[in-house]
Structure 1
Amino acid sequence: MHRLIRFIKKHPVKITIFIVLLIIYFFCLPDPLFRDPSSTVIESKNGDLLGARIAEDGQWRFPESDSVPEKFEQCILHFEDEYFYYHPGFNPVSVAKAMVHNLKAGRVIRGGSTITQQVIRLSRDGKRRTYVEKFVEIILATRLELRCSKQKILALYTSHAPFGSNVVGLDVAAWRYFGVLPHQLSWAESATLAVLPNAPALIYPGKNQETLRKKRNRLLKKLLEKEVIDSTTYTLAITEPLPQKPFPLPQTAPHLLQYAGRNHAGKRIRTTVSHDLQHRVNNIVKQHYGILKQNEVYNAAVLVMDVHTREVLAYTGNTPTDKKHQKDVDIIHAPRSTGSIMKPFLYAAMLDAGELLPHTLVPDVPTQISGYTPENFDPKYDGAVAADNALARSLNIPFVRMLQEYGLERFRDKLSKFRLKDIDKPADYYGLTLILGGAESNLWDLCKTYASLASTVNHFRETSSEYYTGEFTEPVWMAGEKAGFGDISREKTVLDAGSIYLTFQAMQELNRPEGNEAWQYFDSSKRIAWKTGTSFGNRDAWAIGVTKDYVVGVWAGNADGEGRPGLTGVTAAAPVLFDVFDALPVSASFPVPFDELAEAEVCRNSGYMATPLCPKKTIRIPLTGQRTSPCPFHHLVHLDQNRRYRINTSCETVTNIVTEPWFTLPPIMEYYYKTNHTGYKSLPPFRADCFTEGPAAMDFIYPEEGRTVVLPKNFEGTTNKLVVKIAHSKPGTTVFWYLDEHFLGHTRTFHEMAVLPEEGKHLITVIDEFGNEIKRRIEVKR
């Protein structure tokens, strides 16, 4: 110790220089060593290549790999650097031999570089190959050996070595020249690639084949002599053909690659996508694209999620169309008009709030609300329809009226809890059209929401009737990420499990949604809760299906927004949906959330809570449903002995009055309901000698309030008349008709009146014999 101190004091300059050199040596190696841009690469959950995007400098250069396949390692070491695992970064013997050969030749004919030195040379691309540069390489190589393990250095080499043309690194070379993953390379293929970094121009397609073959075979011969491979392997290897042309890199999920590149450019990303399922979904979309384009529909997208993990299993963002038809647009994240796809959310919300029961009758009659006149896809009316049936058939008018009853602002607030990012405007902006496609959303968010609803039911049973606070979480598409479901809570997250379960039951009903064309696509053996949607003008066709395990979402249409006749969720999207479900394992039924459901007696005819006056049936309803109002449509009526007329004590003794319950709908609902329900019986008229009790009611059937009516001409050139219709609650009542206070006539049995008004605005007035009056304002055009 004393000697060291004396030496330092005696030679301060030398010590200082040594320390400076040591510091320079320590910091001389750049970190990171390589700064070249990389390709963006995505892989399946099992490591299969799904797609890659060329690096910014035009090179196919994958991000650095952590490992080197055994076959290629043996090949590259025996070809380039047999003593790689023994030298400190340079091989003095090789350097000496190279200097002797070069001096004798008078030029550089032998390099003597180790793999570590070649890594340094690749990182210093562009430097002239001089003896000074060689010395710098040796210094940096020794420093690299101190920083990195041998395995890391070898991985750096295989990731950055040139393999001809714009191919850099083994990962790309394996795909470009042999169409396989690096670990799938044969001995012959590994040997071919091992000799390329030494002379990358040899791989030029169609040229230098014999030179390349000789170099490969010499390497294979060396491997045989070193007993790395046996004679059989050698014999087979030398007969393998050389690559003739580059293979295209897989583009199995190009739109997911595009999505990944937004925030992870230049990275290698292991995704949650199933390679096999992605291929099957791509083929399904390709097959249906061939059908859709016959109707000039060019775009479609499919998203498949795992309900339990929220992992994305398949991501097909568009059809294999062309650039003219926007093949590069990722439809999955594109905001599109939702059509009817959000109706189940309103249905579940009303069940959850205790304001609706599954079979409650809701009006399906001509409707106008604040100037808005919704219409069903099929322009007919049921008068009254069970709520679950209205959902299964995707009827528009009942849901507009349900939304008005539930509250537009209230429903908008509920949607905000689903985190539908494209629904970002206040309720008044959308109005009642919100439930029919007046808002835009995207396939990602909608599938996420349906998956969260399904998961709520699953978790409720798995956690002994509890919920997760973060149930409506974002899906995950990067392997290793976990969906954050939050903490367990006794309180529901957004909707209770019972309401969601009953909504899915309604969506499983064997009814044909919207039109009658698509029932052939439904496999009743698979209990899929599914919903279709069609936007105004036939621009967007939706179908989303959910089971206990999977959610499948489909959109079809034109990316530029052009509508096409016949483009509906049923005809365009549903067939794709069920083909995708056929490619998935069959799921069990949703678990029944017993603790959120109660058995209750409801009226068989109306679906309301039962009263003593109605025939009953027992169904499951949400716990909150027990507070819904009792049936308003069943009441007692007094009849004569023959039950032909209604009577009262003004015309008959009490002993001759027969009292029985009767199911009666309001006039306008009754008018349409009885045409579809032959068993419906209208109230009998009062006997002529009886004093009529109770208020009479009537309502317009046609035209609707504020409607502009166009009167066409017939073949003779005569203008057709306008036929005005009303419904009256008391059969046989006389009503009197007026047009702008001019008397038109009266009707008694069938309340219809043909009029021929002039162009302009008019007021139609109807008065019955009891003095009741209704009015309707219209505008007539010819």
Structure 2
Amino acid sequence: MKFLKVLKFLLKFAIGCILSGMVVAIAGYYYYSQDLPDVVQLKDVRLQTPMQVLSSDGELIATFGERRRIPLKYEDIPPVVLQAVIATEDSRFYDHFGVDPVGILRAMYIGLKNRSFSQGGSTITQQVAKNFFLTPEKSIGRKIREMILAIRMEKELSKEEIIALYLNMINFGSRAYGVGSAAYTFFGKQPNELTISEAALLAGLPNAPSAYNPIYHPDRALTRRNWVLHRMLDQGFIDQQQYEHAIAEPLNVAYHVPKIAFSAPYVAEMARQFMYDKFGEQAYTDGYKVYTTISKLDQVTATNAIHDQVINYDIRHGYRGPERTLWKADEAAWSEDKILSALGNYMCYNELCPAVVIKDNDTQATALLSDGKKIQISFDGVKWARAYINDNQQGPLPTTVSSVIKAGQQIWVKQQDNQWMLAQIPSINGSLVSINSDNGQIRALVGGFNYNISKFNRATQAIRQIGSTIKPFIYTAALDKGLTMSTMLNDAPIMRTNAGSDAWRPKNSPPVYQGPLRLRVGLSMSKNVMMVRTLRAIGVDYAATYLERFGFPKDNISRHESLALGSASFTPLQVTRAYAVLANGGYLVTPYLIDRIEYSEGGVIYQHAPEIACHDCLIELADENRDRQVNLDNVENVIQSSGADEPEQSKLKADDSMLLPDPSIPFDRLINPDGSVAQAIDENKTKGPVYAPHVISSDIAFIIKDALKSTIWGDPNGLWTGTAWRSKSLGRKDIGGKTGTTNSSKDVWFAGFGANIVTTVWLGFDDHRRELGKARRDTLSNNSYIAAEGGAVTANPVWNDYMSVILKDIPQQQDIKPATVISVLIDKKSGLLATQPGNDAIMEYFIEGTEPTKYATKEVGTKVTDENGNTSELF
């Protein structure tokens, strides 16, 4: 009886406890369920994945983001990885409902036994819930929320979806998140290439990524891997033979970073800034793939061209001495360990690496590299090293190795032709920009010699004086004002004196003057005084305003006569855009770098719609300009300002065919083939083409472009040579360009085109006050001479190096002559009509109606024959 009472009491007590527990559980569930996130969102979760910047041909340029991750679909995860993880983390994964009571009891038992609750009994599902939704704090409340979320996840997601989430988000150490990234980081493999041993190693890392990191703690990692293999054997995932084979394998790990196909750091930074402006911090985590417009061939060629010519300049100007001296001749030499410690503060730039000379004599020196390797530098490696005195002066050639470098000196070296050479970090810098003139696509961009030395992007940020590179644009304005390529201007010295100021004497470079010359010759030979006279003829304000048509910023355009000599300052990218107008028929395209943006899973979310030069469009001149009228007052002003002598002025006045359109009249309108007006279209509102504005007429663009070819090829009979004659080495008749050198050679330029590619090169010191100076150059016969640096000798070779490669497989292009342009045989000396072909005559292009109407006077001995055949004696 007593026993029954006790039993009854215990039963009631148990039922009460159960009911109370249920009440507590229900109350706790509702309490801890408050504000829990909806697990359904995990179906479309975006894992933190770094941004990738790629070239137009899909080559990886850079990655941005703290976490390296390569998301995988469930079907792409190999079974051996799944088995290793399940055996390690959650052997009952496919049997529980998100929470595993058996696992919890086992964890409690082990905890009581060891008096330490190191195992929490969390399932894979719970770990996913914690990592996505909860904080890592250790508390009962957090654990209850974790369980609730895990149960909900099991209702909404399949087991496959849950484990795929886990394997894509979990931290494996060394910034590798997800098994895809971990497989590459530690083994350089794709997940499907992993062996059983490698899969077991990775499966053991998430428990303690830092403690078991196989790179830093190989012994711990090996022990952990073996334990995972034992678990896989116990679970029946592998057999005894597989286990023994796997456990006998060494770790074979190494740190692998994403393979960058080629270096383009300035491009990568521009892409990063573009993405950050567009997406903010999510740019680094949402796994975007950013496809740029550059190609590997173009970019590598551009980088090499800038690098090689900057190095060449530096060599020409002499050796500036060691980076520093670690010990002197009368001091004790440093130990190798101490030297290596000092070298650890330096890095290699391109192929230039730091080294310390540890032994020297007249014929050879021994140097120690930062990796501990000893190298030999013979006299051939230092024979270039004339002593640098200043930017205009270098010392004699050295005669011994020890006269250049000595033990104790920290120097820079590079390997060339299987031998080590003395080198130095260049003090000069440079940039190159190359675009497609038809749509503005940036093909290559180099912002400096080395991004690690200076992150300043000279291609887009350096606002430098343009020098003579501005001349084609002022001549374009002159053609639009009525001058022609046969107009004669006086190549004679100019002096302007203003009250209270110094005299201004613009000079040619070199200071050679040849009297009246045709405008084409003046442009090709870069005659400064002819440019000044042209500017005076059309007016400074007119020319300055006209320059805005080419995209030059108004605030950077100087409004005084020095504008003729390039006193305005622009960036290399702005100059490239302007030259594209001359190359593409008069269209102002907008350069762009980002072609498209894709999600990591695929799918384009942004596609750039470039402004295109509409070569297939018909051109309809504005009605006011269709019939160009002669403005005799303007003609008179042009002639009087030309600098020509009195007889020459009389000839110009007699030629009443000079056409002077009003610059205030609207630009040409684009007409589609169907007759509709082609307007510029907002890329965000339409999928149709976006037409670039037509800022100068096609006939003028054609003539200026042809004139720029003369700067390379000069006179057909060799009577004069253009400043860009070095580009003849390309052997193409469709190339043209213009050199540019500012006062005292502080900035040197070359801008030019070939096919539909426009490229600009700039070189100079970042300190704009410093001159590029002069250098001693050696000839093939070992003679030497002093030459000043300039656009032709310093920048033009960079352009040649780049364009010779880029144009190699592109057929030469023939420009289509506009219907309004005619060819006329003129006399070379006077620019008037020639009476017959010969060495004194040449074909010249004119806009129809602007060609000369008078014939040149023909001299025969002491007799002069006019256009009617009448002769008279000169004496």
Query: Which residues of 2 match residues 473-552 of structure 1 at below 5 A?
Result: 473-479=590-596, 480-485=607-612, 488=617, 490-491=619-620, 492=668, 493-509=694-710, 510-511=712-713, 519=726, 522-525=729-732, 527-552=734-759
- Residue 601 (str. 1) matches residue 824 (str. 2): yes
Whether the aligned pair in 2 keeps the contact of 1:354 and 1:627 (CA below 8 Å) is no
Whether the aligned pair in 2 keeps the contact of 1:47 and 1:270 (CA below 8 Å) is yes
Whether the aligned pair in 2 keeps the contact of 1:359 and 1:606 (CA below 8 Å) is no
Question: Residues 495 and 517 of structure 1: is their aligned pair in 2 closer, same or farther, counting only changes over 3 Å?
Answer: closer
**C-alpha distance in 1, partners of 2:471/2:701?**
13
Instruction: Give the aligned residue type for 1:599.
Output: I
Question: Residues 317 and 600 of structure 1: is their aligned pair in 2 closer, same or farther, counting only changes over 3 Å?
Answer: closer
Q: 2:635 is matched with which residue?
A: none
**C-alpha distance in 2, partners of 1:16/1:219?**
40
**C-alpha distance in 2, partners of 1:320/1:503?**
36
Query: Residue deviations 1:608-661, cap 9 Å, x none?
Result: 4527799895736243x5225545x94599xxxx9659xxxxxxxxxxxx7546
Whether the aligned pair in 2 keeps the contact of 1:179 and 1:247 (CA below 8 Å) is no
Instruction: Give the aligned residue type for 1:621.
Output: Y
Q: 1:775 is matched with which residue?
A: none
**C-alpha distance in 2, partners of 1:293/1:439?**
27
Query: Which residues of 2 match residues 343-354 of structure 1 at below 5 A?
Result: 343-351=471-479, 353=480
Q: Which runs of 5+ in 2 are unaligned?
A: 1-25, 318-425, 498-502, 597-606, 621-667, 669-693, 715-719, 774-787
> Aligned with 1:627: secondary structure?
coil
Query: Residue deviations 1:564-583, cap 9 Å, x none?
Result: 20332222222222222233
Query: Which residues of 2 match residues 176-195 of structure 1 at below 5 A?
Result: 177=186, 195=204
Whether the aligned pair in 1 keeps the contact of 2:751 and 2:758 (CA below 8 Å) is yes
TM-score (norm 1): 0.64
388-397 or 191-200, larger mean C-alpha shift = 191-200
Whether the aligned pair in 1 keeps the contact of 2:835 and 2:856 (CA below 8 Å) is no
Residue 600 of structure 1: CA displacement?
3.7
Q: 2:145 is matched with which residue?
A: 136
Question: Residues 598 and 583 of structure 1: is their aligned pair in 2 closer, same or farther, counting only changes over 3 Å?
Answer: closer
TM-score (norm 2): 0.58
- Residue 424 (str. 1) matches residue 555 (str. 2): yes
> Aligned with 1:621: secondary structure?
strand
Alignment RMSD, CA only?
A: 5.1
Query: Residue deviations 1:235-257, cap 9 Å, x none?
Result: 89957721158789788222223
**C-alpha distance in 2, partners of 1:555/1:170?**
47
- Residue 383 (str. 1) matches residue 392 (str. 2): no
Q: 2:537 is matched with which residue?
A: 405
401-410 or 77-86, larger mean C-alpha shift = 77-86
**C-alpha distance in 2, partners of 1:202/1:147?**
35
**C-alpha distance in 1, partners of 2:159/2:510?**
72
Whether the aligned pair in 2 keeps the contact of 1:299 and 1:321 (CA below 8 Å) is no
**C-alpha distance in 1, partners of 2:226/2:740?**
63
Question: Residues 215 and 204 of structure 1: is their aligned pair in 2 closer, same or farther, counting only changes over 3 Å?
Answer: closer
**C-alpha distance in 2, partners of 1:149/1:439?**
67
Q: 1:671 is matched with which residue?
A: none
Residue 214 of structure 1: CA displacement?
6.2
Q: 1:283 is matched with which residue?
A: 304
Residue 283 of structure 1: CA displacement?
3.3
Question: Residues 39 and 557 of structure 1: is their aligned pair in 2 closer, same or farther, counting only changes over 3 Å?
Answer: farther
Query: Which residues of 2 match residues 440-479 of structure 1 at below 5 A?
Result: 440-456=569-585, 471-479=588-596
Q: 2:805 is matched with which residue?
A: 583
Q: 1:569 is matched with which residue?
A: 791
Q: 2:432 is matched with which residue?
A: 302
> Aligned with 2:743: secondary structure?
coil
Whether the aligned pair in 2 keeps the contact of 1:357 and 1:387 (CA below 8 Å) is yes
Residue 441 of structure 1: CA displacement?
0.8
Q: 1:127 is matched with which residue?
A: 136
Whether the aligned pair in 2 keeps the contact of 1:614 and 1:634 (CA below 8 Å) is no
**C-alpha distance in 1, partners of 2:221/2:182?**
15
- Residue 197 (str. 1) matches residue 324 (str. 2): no
**C-alpha distance in 1, partners of 2:569/2:313?**
23
**C-alpha distance in 2, partners of 1:410/1:93?**
78
Whether the aligned pair in 2 keeps the contact of 1:533 and 1:542 (CA below 8 Å) is yes
Q: 1:436 is matched with which residue?
A: 565
**C-alpha distance in 2, partners of 1:259/1:194?**
39
What is the aligned counterpart of 2:467 among 339, 348, 352? 339
Q: 1:316 is matched with which residue?
A: 446
**C-alpha distance in 2, partners of 1:489/1:156?**
57
Query: Residue deviations 1:532-591, cap 9 Å, x none?
Result: 212222222222232223222222112222222033222222222222223324333344
Whether the aligned pair in 2 keeps the contact of 1:539 and 1:563 (CA below 8 Å) is yes
**C-alpha distance in 2, partners of 1:453/1:408?**
21
Residue 78 of structure 1: CA displacement?
3.3
- Residue 621 (str. 1) matches residue 853 (str. 2): no
Between the aligned residues of both structures, percent identity stands at 22
**C-alpha distance in 2, partners of 1:299/1:185?**
46
Whether the aligned pair in 2 keeps the contact of 1:68 and 1:154 (CA below 8 Å) is no
Q: 2:411 is matched with which residue?
A: none
**C-alpha distance in 2, partners of 1:83/1:209?**
19
Count of paired positions: 607
Question: Residues 193 and 259 of structure 1: is their aligned pair in 2 closer, same or farther, counting only changes over 3 Å?
Answer: farther
269-278 or 19-28, larger mean C-alpha shift = 19-28
213-222 or 522-531, larger mean C-alpha shift = 213-222
Question: Residues 214 and 486 of structure 1: is their aligned pair in 2 closer, same or farther, counting only changes over 3 Å?
Answer: farther
> Aligned with 1:61: secondary structure?
coil
**C-alpha distance in 2, partners of 1:563/1:190?**
61
Query: Which residues of 2 match residues 34-49 of structure 1 at below 5 A?
Result: 41-49=52-60
Q: 1:254 is matched with which residue?
A: 265
